[in-house]
Structure 1
Amino acid sequence: MDKQPASSWSIHTRPEIIAKYEIFERVGSGAYADVYRARRLSDNLIVALKEIFDYQSAFREIDALTILSGSPNVVVMHEYFWHEDENAVLVLEFLRSDLAAVIRDAKRKKKNKKMGEEEEGGVGFSVGEIKRWMIQILNGVDACHRNLIVHRDLKPGNMLISDDGVLKLADFGQARILMEPDIVASDDNKLEDKDGETSIEPPEVIPDYENSPRQGSDGKELEAMSKDEYFRQVEELKAKQVVRDDTDKDSNVHDGDNSCLATCTVSEMDDDLGGNSFSYDADEALDEREGLMTSCVGTRWFRPPELLYGSTMYGLEVDLWSLGCVFAELLSLDPLFPGISDIDQISRVTNVLGNLNEEVWRGCVDLPDYKSISFAKVESPLGIEGCLPNHSGDVISLLKKLICYDPASRATAVEMLNDKYFSEEPLPVPVSELYVPPTMSGPDEDSPRKWNDYREMDSDSDFDDFGPMNVKPTSSGFTIEFT
């Protein structure tokens, strides 16, 4: 289904907005939102006005950014405008660049430079620069996870950067908020603004790991949550089936381009390179009222195996896999798993990590699509070290804590921050020493094909590039084995 009828012109005619802001050029456009640069008339502050066409995405982003208000590594929402029968417009801090642009710029410099002896840490970034970028990303993710917010679309393009080098997580339109039942807001704890708009009163925000004292509502210092405790809480939330979001039933957008393996279809091709972010599935409303979540979410290159295999029972750990993919891209300047379809994505992961089985992830056979698709045994998987041959064993070991099949084995953001990698020489550089390109990322000219430009493919099937395969009918459908 195409994007909702274009209404971006309406932002220029809404009295409550133009009375406070001078709107300049459009600086970004996506399937569900347009972004404009603007000036706040009261103090001349340059801001970003984000007009969101989808009710569900708007609700999620407003809710998440309200809860995360004050987190230094999360984009600031100054205010928002939202009335019935109109698109939501969020007023955000204006950040002119993103991590994708930083990586692209480093890659271009690498290409233009005469290749000499390469230093560990990757050509284009020093080790200290990589550490500082990662610390900022981890602080942002830690803030999300401490407030039980799963972002579900972490990637370099959603990590905005200020002129002075501060990185901030953005684009929370796919975020979900996991919450205990007694914390879910009722009619008695809604906040009403001066325009009569309502928003859910957030739970107490837990400060960021590095940037502020860790204290709870009682003033006592908070201790770092252990991995066992972290996953125990996640499992309790799943068991109680309390995904905080009652907007799915009212969503006015259906993503018609979904080709997730959960449906095992071969006619609906994900035909863009890495840029296909799923924000809503038609079945998600029913699933999430039952405590489930859609597997068709996130951007394919950064989507973890459990989602690729159709899981609807997952938690914060999906962000940890995405974190690992971002870390690997900072190290190599190339995506770790640049799949051109969902099945190609699984194949690339399998070629690196080996086959998915009970030995590496107990319980994986229960994934919805595990028994539907299988690959020939990978005798000699490449391994993370094979993807990053110029990096030390310590860096590879750290990356393996994120890029692993079993979600319960992935290191949490706070565990990563406490790793000796970030405190040993060479130390992270000051934020002020980070290079920030003047503009945001665009199509990657170094890619074989540009992002969102896969319409020229001869076939709309995920399966044509994989050679011989066996299709076997079963009582519930069919299975496919690639040989």
Structure 2
Amino acid sequence: MEPHPTKSWSIHTRPEIVAKYEILERVGAGAYSDVYRARRRSDEVVVALKEVHDYQSAFREIEALQVLRNSPNVVVMHEYFWSEDGDEDAVLVLEYMRTDLAAVIREAKKEGRPIGVGEVKRWMVQILCGVDVCHRNMIVHRDLKPSNLLVSDDGVLKLADFGQARILLEPGYIGYYDPQQYEQNTVNQESTFQHAEVSPEAHNLGQEMNEIQEQDTISKEEYFRQLDEVKAKSSIDETDKEMNFHDGDVSCLATCSTSDMEDDPFKSSYSYEAEEGGDDRQGALTSCVGTRWFRAPELLYGSTNYGLEIDLWSLGCIFAELFTLEPLFPGTADIDQLSRIFSVLGNLTEEVWPGCAKLPDYRTISFSKVENPVGLEACLPNRSPDEISLVKKLACYDPASRATAMELLQDNYFSEEPLPAPISELRVPLMRSGQDEDSPRGWYDHDEMGSDSDFEDFGPVNVTSTSTGFSIQFP
């Protein structure tokens, strides 16, 4: 996806926005959006105005945040301004959160101190609660990283930046976790979980999944097996649904409050939308998502048939960074990213992940055998076996083996001493990480977004012809 061309106007010139909000300053700028701190004129509440320059990203973020409204660990969207004909950028009005988890990590590193175990556990619990509510609504975030985990002044962490998110099925029907059990096992989570409201028009896929969840008992493996069957049976062509909200003489601008769903163009529009050069109209996904350091191996090998599990890999990388204050796999290019993963976990083979040979690029790009992978233990020095085990449950090759967010919330690690620290005791830095959530660059000026083919950095490579094209062998 190419960056959106610069608009010839500014958010400051849009009367429907400036009439309601006093724009104070721009606090972030990225490839596809600008973020402003503003004050709501009606009650003086400080908010964030996110002007999204990419039509697709705006659609996805609004759609996901509407499904997840009232979720305590997901950023709140108060309202949005939407141009149905695309002539003006969408503007999301979000709760203003001054800092993020990347700043928490960076400040601890700067001060030369580890983050206390109780604090780490509380950050983890909040992250897991946010991811769990996404996954129960079949929303895959696709770009989980510390700078997309915003933190309020009082220590509440919330998932943000849903511009790459996808709703895999009709939301609200995948409640395969008992909500009462959820509340009992969030280990003194200091907020009350509420269900996202569900659209009354049920999609057939949602109805079928609802029937699955009504069975008396179902294992995680059986659940995902049946989910795959339902998705495979779906032959819905969403071509005509691709964000076609303009019709005749309807207004070119929609100003919508999330509490007023009447005439909302996003109501019941949970489509498999298309993206030029990316996700297609039949619901296939693109592998070019997420930030490289947190990107699952299946994405690096070009998979377009992935699911919620890619977020779980990202969680493993985030948790490891909370423990060590250093990124787990800080690759400088996609090939380097794979190389770093292999040096720790060993080569990706059918033995460790049955079916991996079917990944699109598995036979195109190969590495020499890693004889002695260092293992995650070496990457997590001075951490307890339980902490290492937690990361291992997430940063593993086989997606089906990765622990779900709910399974981790029920892990004994969070119920043993030291217990998760109270939110009020978390150390919150004064400033953000210095990177906007949409920035294409990572920490320390590493360009860790997107793909590249800079093979010259990796020494000699062996390129051979095959029946399907070519194979690249890296040392």
- Which TM-score bucket, shorter chain as reference? 0.7 to 0.9
The Cα of 1:475 is off from its aligned counterpart by 2.7
In the superposition, relative to structure 1, how do residues 437 and 347 fare at CA in structure 2: closer, same or farther (>3 Å)? same
Give 1:284's aligned amino acid. Answer: G
Q: Residues 211-290 of structure 1 correspond to what in structure 2 (within 5 A)?
A: 211-212=191-192, 226-241=219-234, 282-285=276-279, 288-290=280-282
- Whole-Å Cα distance in 1 between the matches of residues 23 and 215 of structure 2? 43
In the superposition, relative to structure 1, how do residues 224 and 212 fare at CA in structure 2: closer, same or farther (>3 Å)? farther
The Cα of 1:413 is off from its aligned counterpart by 0.2
In the superposition, relative to structure 1, how do residues 284 and 4 fare at CA in structure 2: closer, same or farther (>3 Å)? closer
The Cα of 1:8 is off from its aligned counterpart by 8.0
Give 2:233's aligned amino acid. Answer: K
Give 2:455's aligned residue: 463
Give 1:103's aligned residue: 105
Cα displacement string for residues 231-262 of structure 1 (whole angstroms, at most 9, x for unaligned residues): 235423541357997699679xxxxxxxxxxx
Contact 1:238 1:291 in 2 (8 A): no
- Whole-Å Cα distance in 1 between the matches of residues 329 and 368 of structure 2? 19
The Cα of 1:355 is off from its aligned counterpart by 0.4
Select 1:346's aligned residue among 319, 338, 344.
Answer: 338
Give 1:60's aligned residue: 60
- Whole-Å Cα distance in 2 between the matches of residues 51 and 330 of structure 1? 31
- Whole-Å Cα distance in 2 between the matches of residues 249 and 310 of structure 1? 24
Select 2:138's aligned residue among 134, 145, 148.
Answer: 148
In the superposition, relative to structure 1, how do residues 378 and 100 fare at CA in structure 2: closer, same or farther (>3 Å)? same
Give 1:227's aligned amino acid. Answer: K
Greater alpha carbon shift after TM alignment, 353-362 vs 78-87: 78-87
The Cα of 1:399 is off from its aligned counterpart by 1.1
The Cα of 1:157 is off from its aligned counterpart by 0.5
Select 1:124's aligned residue among 106, 114, 117.
Answer: 114
Contact 1:34 1:50 in 2 (8 A): yes
Give 1:21's aligned residue: 21
Instruction: Report the secondary structure of 1:313's partner residue.
Output: coil
Give 2:89's aligned amino acid. Answer: N
The Cα of 1:68 is off from its aligned counterpart by 0.2
Q: Residues 404-443 of structure 1 correspond to what in structure 2 (within 5 A)?
A: 404-442=396-434
Instruction: Report the secondary structure of 2:92's partner residue.
Output: strand
In the superposition, relative to structure 1, how do residues 443 and 418 fare at CA in structure 2: closer, same or farther (>3 Å)? same
Give 1:254's aligned residue: none
- Whole-Å Cα distance in 2 between the matches of residues 222 and 427 of structure 1? 35
Contact 1:342 1:462 in 2 (8 A): no
- Whole-Å Cα distance in 2 between the matches of residues 430 and 173 of structure 1? 31
Cα displacement string for residues 338-363 of structure 1 (whole angstroms, at most 9, x for unaligned residues): 00000000000000000000000000
In the superposition, relative to structure 1, how do residues 300 and 42 fare at CA in structure 2: closer, same or farther (>3 Å)? same
In the superposition, relative to structure 1, how do residues 225 and 414 fare at CA in structure 2: closer, same or farther (>3 Å)? farther
- Whole-Å Cα distance in 2 between the matches of residues 224 and 159 of structure 1? 33
- Whole-Å Cα distance in 2 between the matches of residues 8 and 94 of structure 1? 27
- Whole-Å Cα distance in 1 between the matches of residues 415 and 215 of structure 2? 21
- Whole-Å Cα distance in 2 between the matches of residues 221 and 125 of structure 1? 42
In the superposition, relative to structure 1, how do residues 341 and 11 fare at CA in structure 2: closer, same or farther (>3 Å)? same
The Cα of 1:15 is off from its aligned counterpart by 1.3
- Whole-Å Cα distance in 1 between the matches of residues 81 and 454 of structure 2? 41
The Cα of 1:442 is off from its aligned counterpart by 1.8
Give 2:94's aligned amino acid. Answer: L
Instruction: Report the secondary structure of 1:352's partner residue.
Output: helix
In the superposition, relative to structure 1, how do residues 178 and 347 fare at CA in structure 2: closer, same or farther (>3 Å)? same
Structure 1: gaps of 5 or more residues: 111-122, 184-201, 252-278, 455-459
Contact 2:332 2:447 in 1 (8 A): no
Instruction: Report the secondary structure of 2:323's partner residue.
Output: helix
The Cα of 1:33 is off from its aligned counterpart by 0.6
Select 1:316's aligned residue among 263, 287, 308.
Answer: 308
Structure 2: gaps of 5 or more residues: 199-209, 245-272
Give 1:36's aligned amino acid. Answer: Y
- Whole-Å Cα distance in 1 between the matches of residues 289 and 124 of structure 2? 23
- Whole-Å Cα distance in 2 between the matches of residues 419 and 224 of structure 1? 20
Instruction: Report the secondary structure of 1:471's partner residue.
Output: strand
Instruction: Report the secondary structure of 1:3's partner residue.
Output: coil
Give 2:360's aligned amino acid. Answer: P
Instruction: Report the secondary structure of 2:109's partner residue.
Output: helix
Contact 1:177 1:244 in 2 (8 A): no
- Whole-Å Cα distance in 1 between the matches of residues 397 and 365 of structure 2? 17
Give 1:92's aligned residue: 94
Give 1:41's aligned amino acid. Answer: R
- Whole-Å Cα distance in 2 between the matches of residues 248 and 329 of structure 1? 40
- Whole-Å Cα distance in 2 between the matches of residues 243 and 450 of structure 1? 44
Give 1:139's aligned residue: 129
Instruction: Report the secondary structure of 2:38's partner residue.
Output: strand
- Whole-Å Cα distance in 1 between the matches of residues 78 and 15 of structure 2? 18
The Cα of 1:5 is off from its aligned counterpart by 2.7
Task: Indicate yes or no: 2:339 matched with 1:337.
Answer: no
Task: Indicate yes or no: 2:372 matched with 1:380.
Answer: yes
The Cα of 1:230 is off from its aligned counterpart by 3.9
Give 1:262's aligned residue: none
In the superposition, relative to structure 1, how do residues 333 and 244 fare at CA in structure 2: closer, same or farther (>3 Å)? farther
Aligned residues: 415
- Whole-Å Cα distance in 1 between the matches of residues 44 and 442 of structure 2? 42
Instruction: Report the secondary structure of 1:369's partner residue.
Output: coil
The Cα of 1:226 is off from its aligned counterpart by 3.9
User: What's the RMSD between the two structures over aligned residues?
Assistant: 3.2
Contact 1:281 1:296 in 2 (8 A): no
Greater alpha carbon shift after TM alignment, 138-147 vs 435-444: 435-444
Contact 2:50 2:94 in 1 (8 A): yes
Q: TM-score, normalised by structure 1?
A: 0.79
Instruction: Report the secondary structure of 1:26's partner residue.
Output: strand
- Whole-Å Cα distance in 2 between the matches of residues 222 and 166 of structure 1? 35
In the superposition, relative to structure 1, how do residues 321 and 283 fare at CA in structure 2: closer, same or farther (>3 Å)? same
In the superposition, relative to structure 1, how do residues 70 and 443 fare at CA in structure 2: closer, same or farther (>3 Å)? closer
Task: Indicate yes or no: 2:50 matched with 1:50.
Answer: yes
Instruction: Report the secondary structure of 2:464's partner residue.
Output: strand
Q: TM-score, normalised by structure 2?
A: 0.80
Contact 1:28 1:36 in 2 (8 A): yes
